[in-house]
Structure 1
Amino acid sequence: MNHHRRARRAITASAAAAAILGAAFAVAPAAMAGAAEDTSAPCLANPMAAATPIGSASGYTIFVTGDAILANSELEGSLAVGGTATFGDPRGLASNQYPLYHGGIGGNADYTPPTIDGEYNRLLINRFGVNPDATKVVQIKAPSGGAPVAGAKIVDRATPAGYTFGPQFGGAGTTYFPAAGTNMSAQIESEVQAWNGGAGAATFATAQASFSSYFPADEGSDLLAQTGIWRTPTIIPGGDTTVTLDPSGPNRVPLSAISGAPKFRLDGYSTTSPLIVKVAPSDVVNGVLTLPSEVNAGKNAPGNAALSYILWDLSDLTGDVTITSYNEPVRGSIYAPDAHVVFPTEAQGGREFEGQLIAGDLTVLSNGKELHTNLFKGELPCASDSTTDPGTGEPGTTGPTDPGTTEPGEPGTTDPGTTEPGEPGTTEPGEPGTTEPGEPGTTEPGTTEPGEPGTTEPGTTEPGEPGTTEEPVTDDTTTQPTAEQPAATSSDSLAITGGGLPWIAGGTAAALAAAGGILLLVSRRKRSA
């Protein structure tokens, strides 16, 4: 009987040792795989992202958080206005129509409209305003060339007072007009939203009750205010200034660095190396900001691609800012979240615009000049990732937290050969290999003292003995450093990119040591049997 119990205990101990060995070798590759999965691409963000609706793949050509007045000839692109959108002004073009096209007439058509409520959108306004001295019919035109069909939406459909929906005058679409109005009244008509017996009215409605709920928070100012991320391009003055970008990151120059000539040529641009031109309040002279133009026209591919990597940073400007150029259109994106941007009349130097715009308020009076779409495609390191690390001075490094560190008592924290109380291999009183005073020779074969090996039947275990069901301490690779355990520094590249590897070795060694102890015990028991 006693012999069988020893045999069963030997089998149980052997199984425990095998389990520990198996766990040790199973944990290592799994942990290494987890460590590999922790690596990720650097965080990048588009400073013009506030113009892109949540869930949309692309943004608006013109994005205005406040009020907008449009009195030029047309827009080839998309428009979003968070305040009141008024079309027409006596200072602008006298035409009674204001068409919104996709593009391809005078401007670029190689873009995708934004989406609102899961549908392509050409015009999103909070409310419609009317200037009785310069009324216009806003026309949402059907696209050509296979471009997506994009319609209009109005958040506040109770203003102006007395406005309603009806069939388009002379067409199958839907119009938003004064109830007693005519085809000459100020209105928004859409060729792409069929009236269909009145069903077209619902297509102008928004699912959200507010304009702002469709858009993310504007982080452009924070992105552009970063330090330590900027590269300096090579600038060669001449009839047309040549600006060759440093490909290793985003490039930034003050406006004064490239304003010596009316035009410049941009080379070496890419998503991660765009050109940011910082505009200071001192660059605005008598309320007017004059910008040089990139040599390529916004419509002419492939040269027009350069326009999507130029951003005029007006984030330090407030109040009215009249923007013009020397001779060519104003080209590139404009970020002016706190300014009232004015494109003046042609007599005052008003030009066409080819790019993307974010503004607090907007007034476009440039008569027969058009607004065209060249969306900004550059990206900057995320503000949270570009802090300078005191250990390296390099942007984008991680802080002191090391996800691969472990708390005291976890695998990998004890040197091989040392054990904590209660762990395998420890000689606590009553455990295998321990001899209480007076034990040697005091027990007859087949008898056992309480707490000694052989007191438990197979399937039952006492705390601390081999074969117990107590769970071993497991490692958590996301454990944060504590006051008792200093955090890894930025110089610990292993801890940053593969922090799990040190404890894998320590944990495996501990498991192997435990298994070896159990196997030695089994061997001794067999010999004594």
Structure 2
Amino acid sequence: MESAFTRARTWIAIGAVLITTGAALTASAMAASAAETTDDGTTCLANPMGGSTPIGSDSGYTLYTTGDTVLANLELEGTLAVGGDATFGVKDGISNLQYSIFHGGVGGNADYDVPTIDEGPNRVLVNRFTPDPDMAKVVEVKRDGGQVDAGAKIVDQSAPAGYTFRQAFGGDGTTFYPAGGGNMSSQLTSQVQPWNDGAGATTFATEESTFAAYFPEDEGTAQLAKVTADDGWKTPTVSQPSNDALVTLDSSGPNLLTLDEFPASASKFTMTGYSTTSPLVVKVSPSDLVDGVLTLPAYGVAGKDAPANAAISYLLWDLSDLSGDVTIVSRGEPVRGSIYAPNAHVIFPRDGGVEFEGQLIAASFTALMDREIHTNLFYGVLPCADAPTPTVTPTVEPTTDPTTEPTVEPTTDPTTEPTVEPTTDPTTEPTTEPTVEPTTDPTTEPTTDPTTEPTTDPTVEPTTDPTTDPTTDPTTDPTQSAEPTSSATTAPVASDDDDATSDSELAVTGGTVPVGAALTGGLFVLAGVIALVIGGLRRVRRNG
């Protein structure tokens, strides 16, 4: 007949197996929720310029500011989003009466998609249209042959005072103008939004009441800060085979240079080895400014010159450490590449100002140069801003519980387990085991175990229990399996290139927690603990 000792060891062995299996299932569930992946199975990645992309849209704006913008340059071939006041034309800028906004392609690059606002294509989204009282300017959103018709929207139409809508002067579009004014009054006109007996006025309205409601939180700064030399940044090679510099990127990950690493004698540069996952980020520090002026080397290929112009979409000037006024100039060539300056007022000056070909995120922006602005969106990606919180919680338990439980268990478990487990763990397991065992031995465990368990259990329990949380997990795992679910819903939006043939199509993905696996793991752990309790009690009876 099987001895009580043998039966006790059998129960303990069963408990160890159940706990190990449960812990593995739970850890797997947590890992699945924590390691958000893109469609191709890689680690969670996102575009650091993603703050300019409206929620639900696949493309960002050429120019995006959270505050005011003044456009007094020649024209914009791209898209515009202004979170403050949008002013076109000032005395210090170009004096042309008309300011055109259209897709482009003759002087600049037309290979980009427009953002989506209220489920429709949008070229201009401004919080308020604020003309300069001393400089009349007719802003015209134009049709561009062969390109999508994308119009304008104004969030706050209560200003300027006295402005209203009417049919565009000399056309069938719609214009936002001062009542009683004429075709030379400051106004925002759209050729792509037909008047249609007044219906065109409604197309300027937004469904959301605030500009910010259309955009996700800007996590570019956090993303750039997260990537370090130890876990992400690669170091490219900079050489100067001719008058121009050559930057050879490490294709295994994102590359980082500081501005002072560019040869001072090179006014232009080109680069090789770029891709969605291996862009070049150039870090700019406050010490790089001279009297508030930042001089950037120019990329040596024009924004419209395909296919070599593709490199511009993988070049990012990181100005996240700068604040206040930052005047940007170049050494004779256009400024090319994307500018990330979320805390700065970026200025392209009237004197010395050059064309800008790229994408911009800034606190505010002023363009005064006698030049155009062209679109070359940034398509590089970096690791997501922060790791989902479920990765922390599951790893804390195994490292703390195993070191405390084997020594504490004999004195604390008999009094805590029978009362705590039935109230917190699933109601299916506790109805059989806990109600039988705890009612017989709770008064004998504390007096017997301290003298018997420490000499026998450490040789059996520690080999399995330290990796399985014998006493604490049953009270915490059911809540842990729920916690990652909430974390996953608030995890940073992740973006990746879901089409290997098109870097411009950045998908938005998110992770969810496999609750079933986590719950199953918890049940296994609970059953394992019950089995360990039964085995321990049988040993007690044998030794008693």
Same fold (TM over 0.5): yes
Aligned to 1:297: 302
Aligned to 2:394: 401
Is 2:160 aligned against 1:160? yes
CA shift, 1:248, in A, is: 2.3
- Tell which structure's C-alpha radius of gyration is larger: 1
SS of the equivalent of 2:203 reads: helix
> Separation in 1 of the partners of 2:30 and 2:325?
53
Aligned to 1:143: 144
Mapping for residues 89-100 of structure 1, pairs under 5 Å: 89-100=90-101
Is residue 393–residue 480 contact of structure 2 (8 Å, CA) maintained in 1?
no
> Separation in 2 of the partners of 1:268 and 1:57?
25
Mapping for residues 373-522 of structure 1, pairs under 5 Å: 373-385=375-387, 398-399=391-392, 401-402=394-395, 423=433, 479=480
Larger displacement relative to structure 2 (34-43 or 358-367): 34-43
Residues paired across the two proteins, number: 421
Closer/same/farther in 2, CA of residues 503 and 212 from structure 1, 3 Å limit: closer
2:293 pairs with one of 283, 288, 291:
288
Is 2:259 aligned against 1:237? no
Aligned to 2:336: 331
CA shift, 1:233, in A, is: 0.8
Is 2:120 aligned against 1:119? yes
Aligned to 1:350: 353
Mapping for residues 5-16 of structure 1, pairs under 5 Å: none
CA RMSD of aligned residues (A): 4.1
TM-score normalised according to structure 1 size: 0.69
2:259 pairs with one of 255, 268, 281:
255
Is residue 328–residue 351 contact of structure 1 (8 Å, CA) maintained in 2?
yes
Aligned to 2:110: 109
> Separation in 2 of the partners of 1:315 and 1:474?
45
Aligned to 1:74: 75
Closer/same/farther in 2, CA of residues 83 and 124 from structure 1, 3 Å limit: same
Aligned to 2:206: 206
Is residue 404–residue 499 contact of structure 1 (8 Å, CA) maintained in 2?
no
CA shift, 1:364, in A, is: 0.7
> Separation in 2 of the partners of 1:506 and 1:209?
50
Gaps of 5+ in 2: 1-13, 38-42, 410-416, 419-431, 441-473, 482-516, 533-544
> Separation in 2 of the partners of 1:386 and 1:231?
24
> Separation in 1 of the partners of 2:301 and 2:388?
33
CA shift, 1:54, in A, is: 1.4
Is residue 64–residue 80 contact of structure 1 (8 Å, CA) maintained in 2?
yes
SS of the equivalent of 2:213 reads: helix
> Separation in 2 of the partners of 1:499 and 1:79?
46
Aligned to 1:364: 367
Gaps of 5+ in 1: 1-19, 388-396, 415-419, 431-472, 481-497, 514-529
CA shift, 1:91, in A, is: 2.3
Closer/same/farther in 2, CA of residues 505 and 373 from structure 1, 3 Å limit: same
Paired letter, 1:134:
M
Closer/same/farther in 2, CA of residues 499 and 131 from structure 1, 3 Å limit: closer
The sequence identity of aligned pairs, in percent, is 55
SS of the equivalent of 1:204 reads: coil
> Separation in 2 of the partners of 1:503 and 1:169?
71
Is residue 319–residue 340 contact of structure 2 (8 Å, CA) maintained in 1?
yes
Is residue 90–residue 132 contact of structure 2 (8 Å, CA) maintained in 1?
yes
Is residue 403–residue 499 contact of structure 1 (8 Å, CA) maintained in 2?
no
> Separation in 1 of the partners of 2:323 and 2:522?
55
TM-score normalised according to structure 2 size: 0.67
Closer/same/farther in 2, CA of residues 399 and 178 from structure 1, 3 Å limit: same
Aligned to 1:188: 188
